[in-house]
Every structure is written in C-alpha cells, then in structure tokens.
Amino acid sequence: MKILKNHIFLSLCLVALLIYLASRFSLPLPTWIYFYANDLLCMPIVLSLSLATLRLIKKTDTIYVPLSIIFVLTVYYAIYFEWLMPKINMRYTGDLIDVILYFLGAFLFYFFHKRLF
C-alpha cells in the first residue's frame, strides 16, 4: 500500500480536506480555490485510490492504470458532475473549466504515477 503512504498522495488529500473544511467553516479563501482547486485534485486522488484498490485485490504492485481507463473515468466524472448533476440538483453547476481541470489532473496523474507509485 505504498500509494496510500506516498507523501504526494497524502498532500493532495490534505489540501482537498483543508479546502473542504474551510468552506464548511466559511473561512476566507480566494474564490478560485473554492471553485477550482478540488476539481484539479479530484482525478489524481480518485485514480490513486483506484490503483491502490486494484493492487490490493490483485496482490501485486506491478499494475498501473492504462491511459484508456484514465480517459474513460475522467469522461465519466465530467459527464456526471458537470452535466447530469446540475440537471438533478441545484447545488451543482456545470462548468467547462471544471472539465478542463479534471482532464489536467488526470494527465498529471498519468504522467507521474509510474514514477511515484
């Protein structure tokens, strides 16, 4: 489970948690952090957790996430959170910048995950 102990993964999770807590307690942060930072962090965190789960199930550390799976999962998140959820729940808003940040986060994960994990 070296992924879950990796300092970069833990840092990403900590930043996402701090942003969430800041919003819950109405702490003043720049609006771009509230609106966009977690969208950038989303895919690296989700993909890292998915990879850690897959490695646990398969009992091997030699499995990596192929680009096709990263792409499909990112498209799924973009469609679900930026198109479907805004139609269902008024709390959500669709934003093209969020979609771009999902893909940027996924690209960063793909570029670095074989070196880091």
**pTM of the full predicted structure?**
0.92
Q: Tell me which residue has tokens 């994960």.
A: 109
Q: Tell me, what's the pLDDT at 9?
A: 96
Q: Tell me, what's the pLDDT at 22?
A: 96
pLDDT in tens, 49-65: 999 999 999 999 999 99
Q: Which CB contacts under 8 angstroms, 24+ apart, belong to 48-57?
A: 48/3, 48/6, 48/9, 48/12, 48/109, 48/113, 48/117, 51/3, 51/113, 51/117, 52/1, 52/3, 52/4, 55/1, 55/3, 56/1
pLDDT in tens, 4-41: 999 999 999 999 999 999 999 999 999 999 999 999 99
